[in-house]
Structure 1
C-alpha cells in the first residue's frame, strides 16, 4: 500500500484550515502531520494538535512534511511558501489576492520546489473554465457579464476564481479579434466593476459584479447576451468541503513532482 502524503496546514483555525483538517480525517491517502495557528489558545481540531505559526520553518523538517497546503492570506502565505521551498517541501496554494510582487515570489519558489496554485479546487469550476472560452468564441459580439457572490468575510474582490474566468473569457475574445473580428469603442478586456449613474454599455466591455453577503460559499455566473438570446453558465459551491477535497487531491498528486509551476487542471488531466 502506498504511504499517505504527509501534509502541513497553516492557518488551521481559519475557515479553510478547519475544512482541510476535517476532510483529511476521513481519508487514507493523506496524513496531517503538522497544523499551525496564530491563536495560541486553540485546541485540537479533528484530532490534530496545533502548533504555533512561528515554529513552521523548523517543524516542516522535523515532521518530515511532503506537501504544505496553504489557504491563509497573502503575507503569511508567502512566508510559509518560502519556508517550504527552503525545506524541499512541495506546496499547494489556495490563497488568493496576491499583488504582483507576491506573485513573483511564488514564481521564484516554484523554481526550487513543486508549487501548485489554483484560485478554486472545485472540479465543476475547472469544467466551467474549459467551456467559457468556447462559449465566448461561439457567441462573438455578445455582451458579457460576470457576477460572483461570496460570504461577507471574503477579503478580495473580484474573487480569484472570477479573475480566472475573466482570463479565459477575454482570451477567447482577443483570439476572435486576431482572426478578423473588430469592435468600436472599448477593447477586449475592458472591465467595468459595477455601474452607477450615466453608464451606457460600451462595445466590448465586460461587466464584473462582486456580491458579499451572509455565509454564501461561492457562486460564479457568466452571462452572454445578444441577438435576442442569452446563455448563463453558473457554478454554485454548496459547501467548502468541495474545495478541501480538491486541494488534498492536488497535494497527493503533487507529492514528488519536479520543481515547477502547476495548476489544478494538471491534477485533473488538463492541458
Structure 2
C-alpha cells in the first residue's frame, strides 16, 4: 500500500471532488475543505440545482464524467444515496479517480458495484468517519469478549430525516458483536406484546427525532450488572473532517477496498 506513513499525514495540496453537494453532508464536506489548509474543492455536483456553497459553484451531477476529466481531482468524496453512490463510483473507476464514500443502505447488488469499482481505483467505504466511533467499535469488541453470555442491546438515535434504519453505523457495530459472539445470531428489531428475550438475540432499536446528529449505545447486561458504551456526535462536522482525513490518505493508495480503520491504523 502506498498511502502516507501516518494517519494524520496530508498531501501538500489535495484536490477534492464532492457529490451530493446540496445535501447535509455534502455541505459539511465543502465547508470543512474550505477551512482546511492545503485542501481545495476541485468540483462539486448535485442532482438538483444548488446555489454556491462556501464560494464553490455546484454543477449538475450529470456532468460528473466530463468534470472529472476537466478538473482532474485527486479523490472524490461521496455522501449521497446507494444508487447514486454506486453510479458515481463506476464513473470514477472509468476516470481513474479514488473514491471515499460514507453512503449507507447498500443492498448486495450495490455493494458488488462498489467492489467492482475498487478493482480499478482505491475505494474506501465507511459507515462512520468519527474517530470516536472507531474507538467505540474496538471497545465493544473487547467488552463483548470479556463478558460472555451477557445480553446485548443496541440503540441508535438520528434526526427525523434519516432514511435507513437501523443506521449503517449500527449495522457495523452489530457485525462487530456477532464476530465476537457466535452465539448471537438473531437481530430483533424492537419489541412488542409478549416478547421476552430468547437465547441468541441481539436487541436493535432505531429512534428518529428532531435534529439529533447521531447517537449509538451498546448495552451489556448480566450477572447482576450492566455496562453501557455510548458515542454521541455533536455535529456533522466531525464526519466531514474524518472523510477528508480518509481522502488525503486514499489519494495515494493502490487500487483496492479500504475502510476507515485502514486510515487510523496507517
TM-score normalized with structure 1 length: 0.93
Matched, 1:38 2:47: yes
Partner of 2:83: 75
Distance, in Å, in 2 between the alignment partners of 1:74 and 1:58 is: 22
Partner of 1:194: 190
Deviations 1:136-190 (A, max 9, x none): 111100000000000000010110000110011111112xxxxxxxxxxxx5221
User: For 2:19, which of 7, 10, 13 is the aligned residue?
Assistant: 10
Distance, in Å, in 2 between the alignment partners of 1:173 and 1:2 is: 40
Return closer, same or farther for 1:154/1:2 CA change in 2, 3 Å cut-off: closer
Matched, 1:244 2:240: yes
Contact 1:5–1:31 (CA under 8 A) maintained in structure 2: yes
The ranges of structure 1 where at least 4 consecutive aligned residues each deviate by more than 3 angstroms after the TM superposition are none
Contact 1:29–1:252 (CA under 8 A) maintained in structure 2: no
User: Pairwise mapping of residues 191-230 of structure 1 onto structure 2 (< 5 A)?
Assistant: 191-230=187-226
Partner of 1:29: 38
User: For 2:104, which of 96, 118, 122 is the aligned residue?
Assistant: 96
Specify every segment of 5 or more residues in structure 2 that has no aligned partner in the other structure, as ranges.
1-9
Distance, in Å, in 2 between the alignment partners of 1:60 and 1:76 is: 16
Distance, in Å, in 2 between the alignment partners of 1:3 and 1:238 is: 29
Alignment coverage as a number of residue pairs: 257
What SS does the aligned partner of 1:145 have? strand
Return closer, same or farther for 1:2/1:222 CA change in 2, 3 Å cut-off: closer
Q: CA RMSD in A?
A: 1.1
What SS does the aligned partner of 1:257 have? coil
Distance, in Å, in 2 between the alignment partners of 1:2 and 1:162 is: 32
Distance, in Å, in 2 between the alignment partners of 1:108 and 1:26 is: 34
Contact 1:22–1:46 (CA under 8 A) maintained in structure 2: yes
Contact 2:156–2:167 (CA under 8 A) maintained in structure 1: yes
Distance, in Å, in 2 between the alignment partners of 1:120 and 1:69 is: 13
User: For 2:265, which of 252, 256, 269 is the aligned residue?
Assistant: 269
Specify every segment of 5 or more residues in structure 1 that has no aligned partner in the other structure, as ranges.
175-186
Contact 2:11–2:248 (CA under 8 A) maintained in structure 1: no
What SS does the aligned partner of 2:181 have? helix
Distance, in Å, in 2 between the alignment partners of 1:107 and 1:236 is: 30
Distance, in Å, in 1 between the alignment partners of 2:11 and 2:127 is: 29
Distance, in Å, in 2 between the alignment partners of 1:99 and 1:2 is: 34
Give how far 1:2 is off: 4.9
Partner of 2:6: none
Contact 1:141–1:204 (CA under 8 A) maintained in structure 2: no
What SS does the aligned partner of 2:106 have? coil
Distance, in Å, in 1 between the alignment partners of 2:104 and 2:60 is: 23
User: For 1:51, which of 50, 55, 59 is the aligned residue?
Assistant: 59
TM-score normalized with structure 2 length: 0.95
Distance, in Å, in 2 between the alignment partners of 1:204 and 1:39 is: 46
